Every structure is written in structure tokens, then in C-alpha cells.
Structure 1
Amino acid sequence: MSGTDGVEKIGQAVDDIGAYIRRQREGAEVSLRQLAKVAGISNPYLSQIERGLRKPSAEILAQIATGLRISAEALYVRAGILEPREHSPVLDALASDTELTERQKQVLTDIYESFRRGNAAETSTVTGTEDAALAVAAIDAAAQAVEAPAQRTS
């Protein structure tokens, strides 16, 4: 791949992410002004992102994702920041849940993936005690993730 091929791919990623954001915004029936306000960016900047003239940072993508109530991960993959992950019905459901914060989604994803890694790494039978210890650790982590935002707001 030559240097110009890499520049072309980056340019294509910028165009793709902008078009994707516009489609998501229009599908959610949110105006450019509304999304810009929620995302904490200017109308012209959001317009430039949508037209592929600007490449947004990961932080701006997260703010836009929050404004659109979609997964920041989906935008990161579209922008070439993250590699696509293996599809899983559980992870897909978590990513699309609008009732959870991004932080809560990440904690639940981490717990789920740790269980899967643990199961894959097992060469012998897990005892009931080990299963219970994993479940308690998962519940503790989830409880801390849920309590942390509540403590910040009080």
C-alpha cells in the first residue's frame, strides 16, 4: 500500500463517519442544531463532520453518540478508531440499550467478556464455589458502576 492509499482510506473513513452520523441523526429525527447542542459542539463544526470535511476526535464522537443515543463503539468502529468486535447477541443488546449509560454498558461488557474468557480458558471442571465467586465479583463490579454516577450527582 502506498502513502496515497493510506491518505485515501483516512479520507474515506472521514466521509463514511460523517455520512453515518447524518443518517443516524436524520433517522432519529434530530435537527443538526439539537444534536450540536446536546453534543456540546457548534452547528458549523457538526455540519463539517457530516460533510466529511472534519475528522472528529474520539471525545467528540462519544458526545455525538450520547446525543444520538447510540453506542460510541459503533462510531469508533466507523471512524477506524476501533476494530470491529465479534458479534454476540448479548453484546449487541447491551450496546443498543438506551436505558444504560456508556459506563454501565462498558462494565457489563467487561463482566460478560471475563466470563467468556474464563470459560474458554478452563481445562478442568469449575466447582460451584468458583462459579459463585465469579458471580459475586461481577455483581460487586456492576453495583459499583451503578453507584458511582449516583454519588457524583448527589
Structure 2
Amino acid sequence: MASLNVGNLGEYLREQRRTAQLSLRQLAEAAGVSNPYLSQIERGLRKPSAEVLQQVAKALRISAETLYVRAGILDEQDREELETRAAILADPSINERQKQVLLQIYDSFRKENAFDSDGGTGDAGAGAGSTEL
């Protein structure tokens, strides 16, 4: 059986599993997948679904988004955005209202910058220093 092009997902999973000091069987059980299937993923013979990657990530206590990027499901920019959002939502030093406001500001900056980079006429630099938060 030929190896699929799933980047270095299998090698990365094996490395994470070994770092977590889990056997293949233990990780398979914790993730709710079969031992042979997980072995095939690690060897690059199978490309897992996003759901399986999420279960494996949870069992390894790592970011599912990182696995999605390595499997070609997400690109790096999407992963960075999701990790930024996760960091904001996980911050215990700010309350829920503040988190939502911060995410709204983050979204508005991303939209503004995407518009400008696509040749739009938005004026990203005007008044940037005068905004008080």
C-alpha cells in the first residue's frame, strides 16, 4: 500500500504520542479509534477525517488545529486565527463580555486588513494612533 501525501502528520502524531508516553494501543483507546487504524495513520497509509483528528488531539492534549494544518485540512493562516481566538477565549483574566468585545475588534481589524490587501480603498493608517481602547 503506497503512502498518502498527508504531510508529516504521521511522524508528528508518533512524536506527540511518544512525548506523552502513550503506547499506540493506549492512544487508540483514548481517542476511540482502532489500534490498526491509528497505526496506518502514523505510517501515512490513511488520511483521517477532521473528527478523528479532533479525537486524537484531545487524547494527546494538543491543538486540533495543528493536526488539521498538518493533514492539509486547514492552511496555516486559518490555524493562527483559530489559535488567537482560542487564546482570547481561554484567558481567565478577562470576563466574557470583554472577550466578546476583543473578538469583535479582532474581526474588524482582520476584515479591514483583508480589504486593503485586496486593492480596496480602505484607509487603514488614518487615525490609527487616536483610537482609545
TM bucket normalised to smaller? 0.5 to 0.7
Q: CA distance change for structure 1 residues 119 and 54 in 2, over 3 Å: closer, same or farther?
A: closer
- Percent sequence identity over matched residues? 48
Residue matched to 2:21:
29
Q: CA distance change for structure 1 residues 111 and 83 in 2, over 3 Å: closer, same or farther?
A: farther
Q: Distance in 2 between matches of 1:18 and 1:73?
A: 15
Instruction: State the TM-score, normalizing by the size of structure 1.
Output: 0.55
Instruction: Return the offset for 1:30.
Output: 1.2
Q: Distance in 1 between matches of 2:54 and 2:43?
A: 18
Instruction: Return the offset for 1:116.
Output: 2.1
Instruction: Return the offset for 1:20.
Output: 0.9
Residue matched to 1:83:
75
What do residues 108-137 of structure 1 show as CA deviations (whole Å, max 9, x unaligned)? Answer: 6x8755322334647668887xx6xxxxxx
CA RMSD in angstroms comes to 3.7
Gapped runs of 5+ residues in structure 2? Answer: 91-98, 113-123
Residue matched to 1:12:
5
Gapped runs of 5+ residues in structure 1? Answer: 1-7, 98-107, 132-154
What do residues 13-48 of structure 1 show as CA deviations (whole Å, max 9, x unaligned)? Answer: 2x6111111111011111111111111001111111
Residue matched to 2:107:
117
Q: CA distance change for structure 1 residues 74 and 112 in 2, over 3 Å: closer, same or farther?
A: farther
Instruction: Return the offset for 1:57.
Output: 0.6
Number of equivalent positions: 107
Moved more, 15-24 or 36-45: 15-24
* Residue 55 (1) aligns with residue 47 (2): yes
Instruction: State the TM-score, normalizing by the size of structure 2.
Output: 0.63
| Structure having the larger proportion of residues in helix | 1
Runs of 4 or more, structure 1, over 6 Å off, are 125-128
Give the alignment partner of residue 38 of structure 1, picking from 17, 26, 30: 30
Q: CA distance change for structure 1 residues 113 and 92 in 2, over 3 Å: closer, same or farther?
A: closer
Q: CA distance change for structure 1 residues 117 and 79 in 2, over 3 Å: closer, same or farther?
A: same
